[in-house]
Structure 1
Amino acid sequence: MAKKAVKKKQTTSFFKFIKWFWIVFITGILSVALLFVLAANEVFGEMPTFEILENPQTNLATEILSSDSKTLGKFYLDDNRTPVKFEDLPKNLVDALVATEDARFYEHSGIDARGTVRAFAFLGKKGGASTISQQLAKQLFTGLAARGWKRYTQKIKEWVIATRLERNYTKEEIMTMYFNIYDFGNNADGIRSASKIYFGKEPKNLKIEESAMLVGMFKNSSLYNPRPHRNPVGTKNRRDVVLAQMAKYDYITEQEKDSLQDLKMKLNYSPESHREGLATYFRMYLQGFMNDWIKKNPKPALEGERDRYNLYLDGLKIYTTIDSRMQANAENAVSQHMTKLQAEFFHQNTPERNKTAPFLDLEKSEVNAIMERAMKTSDRWREMKKEGKSEKVIRASFTKKKDMTVFDWKSETKEKDTVMTPLDSIRYYKSFLRTAMMSMEPQTGHVKAWVGGINYKHFQYDNVIQGARQAGSTFKPLVYAAAIDQLRYSPCDSLPDTQYCIEAEKHGNPEPWCPKNSNGKYSGKNYTLKKALANSVNTVTAQLIDKVGPKSVAIIGKNLGITREIAEVPSIALGVSEMNVYEMVGAYGTFANQGVYVKPVMVTRIEDKNGTVLYEYVPETKDVLSKDVAYAMLNLMEGVTQGGSGTRLRTQGVNKWKKEYDEVITGYPYGFKNPIAGKTGTTQNNSDGWFMGMVPNLVTGVWVGGEERATHFKSITYGQGATMALPIWGLYMKENYKNEDLGISDKSFTKPKDLSINVDCTKVAEEAQENKDTEDDLDDLDF
């Protein structure tokens, strides 16, 4: 009886255990299910709708693309994100993520049951349980990890969202979204930005060790950041853990793992910021262009969306005409020449040599006026004024020394730390020569390179399109074009180099206008128009504008795309009107394009994030000159580089001038043999140096000068366009010709059939040897 009682008791206890086991088990299941139901019904907080799950919203940077399909830069606020497709991800990157973050990614449906049980059993000591889908859910919809009991409800929400994501998207789409959403630090939002910023390449080109490093950052992108001096040991160790995981799951062999772990960390750190990188001045011009376009083009928005495109959030793609290779050549040419030119300027403007440095030809009161104006237009003055500071306090702040970082050509980073007063810093920055350069394909108007200054971070004024300076002799071709077009002159017709005066009543001044040549002399000889333009003979140009009239020249200027006012007075013949490089390149492009003006274009197409075309450029053209006149003008300007102020482009021997001068003329001798049409220009007191250079399919304009006209070289030796601006063109074109893929022509300009204008001047007696200019003849250099 006792045994039966014990047995019965044991049986009863067993059934009670089974009963309670199932009660607990079912209760647990129901509790979990209830939690899911409660979370799904937003008891623990708002959940994303089906529509949002179908179209998760992330901030996308607008991407600027070059004509050769390179990323020039991006517009973004906080998120520098450009999405990629799954096919753009290399297999080693995908393998590294799966091996490290979610080994059973392809087996589960959003929640890894085994991993979850393990996490609960060992309290997370043997790894967490978050799947890639859960981590994506957290990134997209739940944000930063909460604390306390909210962390548990957040985790439940992540589980629910993860299962929903698995139902709506394929595994590949989920993985792609995760790579695109993650913040890798240093403005590297998403895998594409990270790959470009840390390694300077597209994701598809990542090596295994590079992919491992980026995947290692998913654990903590701040702690395991590869940026120099952050945490090099920890970052390498984390990379090696990823490689070990890849070997563990047979994505790589043990031997490959060992050899890869032995590799040092190699970075090509290229930060993407608005003030750094390629084509910074152009990108800032483009920002203004896009803002105007957005105002005029409303967005076909859905209910609840913005009715305007957002340049920084909507992931637009802007296709530009800039060629990244030519842009790099242009920026390098500017840097190479301006470094040496500036060094010479500093040498000539020490306090011992020039007490008013960096200004010349000014009284002390005039210098004070410049500094006063600069001080009152400075950011410091404006900001302190907003704060309600008195003028006395503001002025005092400009005389107190402060720590600051300023521009410096000598430094590798182009910056140096120093201590100076804000007033001294204004004077320091005014001592730097500025530049502008633009290069355009004349047949299409496509702008291939745009350099608005020497360094955008420190000099944000864009001299290509914002600035305007006297054009000097680069304006003279417009006068010659009017004469050839209206009077049917040819390059071989000649005029005397004698004093020539235009009557007072023709230009509104009380005295006749009698321009002198730059050397103040008159040779008394006859010059062909070709020879006169090549050597910028002012007396000949004066005769031509007197014959055609200033109004005719001004009209041609307008037809050539010059929008600024051109005063209808004879003195415009010598370039007293102010122009910018953008207008001048467009005007000269007409000569190279057989007389047809094509408005310069920088943007060819704009697309939204889905690839829908929002804008396509329609060329703006105008017939201005006949083919014959345009070709005659090219023939005239070829004389500039054959025997005039641009001859040094063709020099192949050693310069006869002093060694110090040779060092400033960067890249000399240039040794070009192909046809080049061009024009140098120098304004009064050497304040501006210009060079316009053309080959059949590329027109380039260069300007160099100070911010103030009083910042200039003392002598024409260094102050002329042939010294200040021409070398940048020479360096730029030498590099362009080295790259045959660019297709820059070295052929002759296209000659019209049945040309009606005589351009063969070989039989003209005026071309005698005694009138030939040589490189060391400084008397007839242009003005």
Structure 2
Amino acid sequence: MAKKRSNTTSKTRKPVSKKKGISKKKQQKRPILRFIGQAAVVMFLLGCLFFILVFLGVLGPVPSKTQLHQINNPLASEVYSADGKILGRYYVENRSYATFDEISPNVIHALIATEDARFYEHRGIDEVALARVFVKSILMRNSSSGGGSTISQQIAKNLFPRSNFGPFSMPVNKLRESIIAYRLERIYSKDEILALYLNTVSFAENIFGIEVVSERFFSKHPSKLDVHEAAVLVGMLKANNYYNPRTHPERSLGRRNVVIDQMVKSEYLTEEKAAFYKEKPLGLRYRLISYNQGPAPYFLEKLKPELLEWCKHNTNENDEPYNLYTDGLKITTTIDYNLQYYAQQSVKEYMKNLQKVFDNHWKSRDIFKENPAILKSAIQNRNTSGASYGEELKKYSEKKQTTLFSWDGLKDVNVTRLDSLKHYLKILNAGFIAIDPHQSTLKAWVGGIDYRFFQYDHVTAPRQTGSTFKPFVYLAALEENIEADSYFVNQLKVYEEYNDWTPRNSHDSYGGYYTMKEALAKSLNTVSVEVLLEAGINETIDIAEKLGITADLPDYPSLALGVASISLKEIVEAFAGIVNDGIPVKSNYLVQIADKNEIILETFHYDLENNPVVSPENCRAVINMMQAVIDEGTGRGIRTIYNIPGDFAGKTGTTQNNSDGWFIGITPNLVTGCWVGANDPRVHFRSTTYGQGAYMALPIVAKFFHKTYNDRSFAYMKNSKFAQPGEEMLAMLSEPGYKEVLDIEKREFNLASIFGKKNKEEELKKGQKPRQEQPEEKGQIWKKIKSIFKKK
């Protein structure tokens, strides 16, 4: 019995021991599960804490909904021509803004297909894309799986740059961008987000936004972009400099075709259409428009101080002064885009040719050896250290790698500073300006040949004017009642009362008698001085000042020969006053300023002068005289070489030693002026053949009008007519311009019997030198003549 009990006991103990074994395993697993559970809870809590820290901006600022409503990227202020084309920008970032409606659908489709195919299906965070990236990129190590960032997240990254948190940088920044993206999607529509992205994303060459990049590479507004063009620009976003179509066309073409394939995959294009666009070349029309490299860089520099002053006194929506570089102002000017383009093109075309002539002219001679003072003064002017000239000169022997300007393209060379200085001292420069004389509006402004290398503006720089000043002398004579058909002797004369000064004609030819019209056409210095003295030096200065010339004008007879230094702008404005019937012209150029939303902030109104300061009749007579300059005088190249039609007046100007070449070209609707020379007046042509205004400056004006008149929109100018003086004045202006010997009986009635002196003609016939008269005596003589022989 005992044995039997023992068996029973053993049987009953086995299951007990089995249960105890299971319990031990469970007890062993429980700490692991408990640890995993606890770890999960801790991770969850840490994740929540991490999210809260990021959400609250502890780990970097996260913009609120209010701030996102007021996204304010630095926007370039843009300067526009009168016809609405962009002339240039002022910026910190070269960025402009285009609305969704102003962007071609081709750009939108290319962007979505390439950057965010599920854009219209998510709310800022694409979980499907994130899962794909996690599996393929992280688990399978496939780098070609693409990114998981949505367009909204990329906006967040562009607008609010990432911060460095060491090993936590990626998760912190990604979560922060996801929060911002989610908020953006709740604030803005999908179309607005697309526009926001395209206006904030950076492209190649340090430019931002679809509008600027579209203008840069295709010279068109983003609304006009075709499929293949849009694909080029969107393709650039993968690596903007690597796929720059200007510097890496083959890479750009391959990337463009990838984008087109993506558009097919997203069903924005058919296979046939894709094949058609992939066959097209890149088709770049590169046009650099930035602050200092657009079609009007010198004008923008001239405008900048006035705009900065305006910004100081006007406040934006935040009640802060406007910032010219970040607030996206839209400034409209009077500049005509096509005229500005023709002016700049004419300057560059002719100056390239003239520089070759100049270099060949000095090819066998060293201008710096012949005149060492040129280099010496240039080095001393750049000396800011206070060192002696010898010490400073030593620094110019060091070679360095630099980029030099040349008309054949920029040259990267290794040269000494001295060679570089010589190179730039021998470069000829130019200034050009065009003004509407009746509206007093500026139409074109070219201050130099290349703003990148030559910032000095030759429109505002004073230079000696040469014979360009003579029309003001003749206008003063008419104002002083010297009749237009008066004759003046062309003789080499010593003016004893002015330190034995003797003015000479450029061709050294003398003899005979000339009317003012003929003397102006031939640009005779001898006659011009006589006319000045007859009219009165102070009276001539007064006329010039009334017409707007503020430069210092010397009280000396050489004033007639243009020894005064006057800016191109001032002298052209003064000529515009003559065309405007004696009403002074002060050019204006600002039309209006609007904010980034095109709300007009200020419209500029100018009080134009209405009262003439000189006789309109005399102004018309001087224009008639200047027409003779073009038809038969020193400016006849306008007709004979360049075949410019229509009413045209003008005046050439050449200064001593051929340092300055001038030409004023005048039509009824436009007054233009051009100056050409080197920065240092001692650098010049040795011969008047090349150094005269008719050779240096006239061709630029002629080219400008040739291009302008061939433009249909300006065809009306060819048929415009100058206002004519009255019949009596026209009759006097029609008198023969030259007489070898005067008929004294017909014109002067026996001056000897009136004034008690011998007839000048008789003295000349006898070989005697006519008595030299003092300026004040001559004025009295002419008044007596006028009182007796005034035409009825």
Report the TM-score when normalising by structure 2.
0.82
Aligned to 2:762: none
Q: Select 1:621's aligned residue among 601, 608, 623.
A: 608
| Distance in 2 between residues matched to 1:153 and 1:25, nearest whole Å | 20
SS in 1 for 2:718: coil
| Distance in 1 between residues matched to 2:627 and 2:730, nearest whole Å | 11
Q: How does 1:455-474 map to 2 (within 5 A)?
A: 455-465=450-460, 467-474=461-468
| Distance in 1 between residues matched to 2:64 and 2:728, nearest whole Å | 75
Matching residue's letter, 2:447: G
Q: How does 1:200-349 map to 2 (within 5 A)?
A: 200-229=219-248, 232=249, 234-295=251-312, 297-300=313-316, 302=318, 307-349=320-362
Listed one character per residue, the Cα deviations across residues 711-733 of structure 1 (whole Å, up to 9, x for unaligned) are: 22222222211111111111111
Matching residue's letter, 1:312: Y
Aligned to 2:81: 66
Which has the larger displacement, 204-213 or 280-289?
A: 280-289
SS in 2 for 1:436: strand
Which has the larger displacement, 711-720 or 110-119?
A: 110-119
| Distance in 2 between residues matched to 1:701 and 1:197, nearest whole Å | 31
Which has the larger displacement, 528-537 or 329-338?
A: 329-338
Aligned to 2:396: 398
Listed one character per residue, the Cα deviations across residues 94-147 of structure 1 (whole Å, up to 9, x for unaligned) are: 111122222232232222333334444445654433221121122112437876
Q: Select 1:96's aligned residue among 86, 94, 110.
A: 110
Q: How does 1:737-748 map to 2 (within 5 A)?
A: 737-743=709-715, 745-748=717-720
Closer, same or farther: CA 586–744 of 1 in aligned 2, 3 Å: farther
TM-superposed CA distance for 1:442, in Å, is 1.1
Closer, same or farther: CA 134–448 of 1 in aligned 2, 3 Å: same
Aligned to 1:676: 648
Aligned to 2:176: 157
Unmatched segments (≥5 aa) in structure 1: 3-8, 652-668, 772-783
SS in 2 for 1:759: helix
Q: Are residues 1:584 and 2:556 paired? A: no
TM-superposed CA distance for 1:23, in Å, is 13
Q: Select 1:132's aligned residue among 129, 134, 151.
A: 151
Does the 8 Å CA contact 1:483/1:544 hold for their aligned counterparts? yes
Q: Are residues 1:107 and 2:121 paired? A: yes
Aligned to 2:378: 374
Q: Are residues 1:574 and 2:561 paired? A: yes
Aligned to 2:526: 539
TM-superposed CA distance for 1:687, in Å, is 1.8
| Distance in 2 between residues matched to 1:732 and 1:75, nearest whole Å | 28
| Distance in 2 between residues matched to 1:374 and 1:65, nearest whole Å | 38
TM-superposed CA distance for 1:193, in Å, is 1.5
TM-superposed CA distance for 1:31, in Å, is 8.6
Matching residue's letter, 1:736: T
TM-superposed CA distance for 1:692, in Å, is 0.5
Listed one character per residue, the Cα deviations across residues 560-600 of structure 1 (whole Å, up to 9, x for unaligned) are: 12121112333212211111111111011112222222211
| Distance in 1 between residues matched to 2:426 and 2:161, nearest whole Å | 54
TM-superposed CA distance for 1:274, in Å, is 4.3
Q: Are residues 1:484 and 2:478 paired? A: yes
| Distance in 1 between residues matched to 2:576 and 2:433, nearest whole Å | 12
Q: Select 2:207's aligned residue among 167, 171, 188.
A: 188
Closer, same or farther: CA 83–159 of 1 in aligned 2, 3 Å: same
Aligned to 1:714: 686
Q: Select 1:649's aligned residue among 638, 643, 655.
A: 638
Aligned to 1:661: none
Q: Are residues 1:424 and 2:419 paired? A: yes
SS in 1 for 2:267: coil
| Distance in 1 between residues matched to 2:288 and 2:420, nearest whole Å | 27
Aligned to 1:552: 539
Does the 8 Å CA contact 1:358/1:430 hold for their aligned counterparts? no
Which has the larger displacement, 186-195 or 36-45?
A: 36-45
Does the 8 Å CA contact 1:358/1:711 hold for their aligned counterparts? no
| Distance in 2 between residues matched to 1:542 and 1:209, nearest whole Å | 68
TM-superposed CA distance for 1:54, in Å, is 0.9
Matching residue's letter, 1:369: A
Q: Are residues 1:496 and 2:489 paired? A: yes
Closer, same or farther: CA 416–139 of 1 in aligned 2, 3 Å: closer
Q: Are residues 1:176 and 2:195 paired? A: yes
| Distance in 2 between residues matched to 1:770 and 1:54, nearest whole Å | 87
| Distance in 2 between residues matched to 1:271 and 1:529, nearest whole Å | 49
SS in 1 for 2:458: coil
| Distance in 2 between residues matched to 1:521 and 1:115, nearest whole Å | 89
| Distance in 1 between residues matched to 2:723 and 2:515, nearest whole Å | 21
Closer, same or farther: CA 112–758 of 1 in aligned 2, 3 Å: same
- The alignment-based identity, stated in percent, is 37
Matching residue's letter, 1:286: L
Closer, same or farther: CA 761–358 of 1 in aligned 2, 3 Å: farther
Closer, same or farther: CA 486–393 of 1 in aligned 2, 3 Å: closer
| Distance in 1 between residues matched to 2:236 and 2:439, nearest whole Å | 46
Closer, same or farther: CA 233–455 of 1 in aligned 2, 3 Å: closer
TM-superposed CA distance for 1:238, in Å, is 3.0
| Distance in 2 between residues matched to 1:189 and 1:530, nearest whole Å | 58
Unmatched segments (≥5 aa) in structure 2: 1-14, 16-21, 31-35, 743-792
Query: How many residues are aligned here?
Result: 706
Higher Rg: 2
| Distance in 1 between residues matched to 2:389 and 2:637, nearest whole Å | 53
Closer, same or farther: CA 269–693 of 1 in aligned 2, 3 Å: closer
| Distance in 2 between residues matched to 1:587 and 1:693, nearest whole Å | 13
TM-superposed CA distance for 1:710, in Å, is 2.3
> Which structure shows the bigger proportion of residues in helix conformation?
2
Does the 8 Å CA contact 1:110/1:133 hold for their aligned counterparts? yes
SS in 1 for 2:208: coil
Does the 8 Å CA contact 2:380/2:389 hold for their aligned counterparts? no
Matching residue's letter, 1:332: Q
Q: Select 2:62's aligned residue among 37, 47, 53.
A: 47
Which has the larger displacement, 179-188 or 541-550?
A: 541-550
TM-superposed CA distance for 1:93, in Å, is 0.7
Say what the alpha-carbon RMSD is for the aligned residues: 3.3
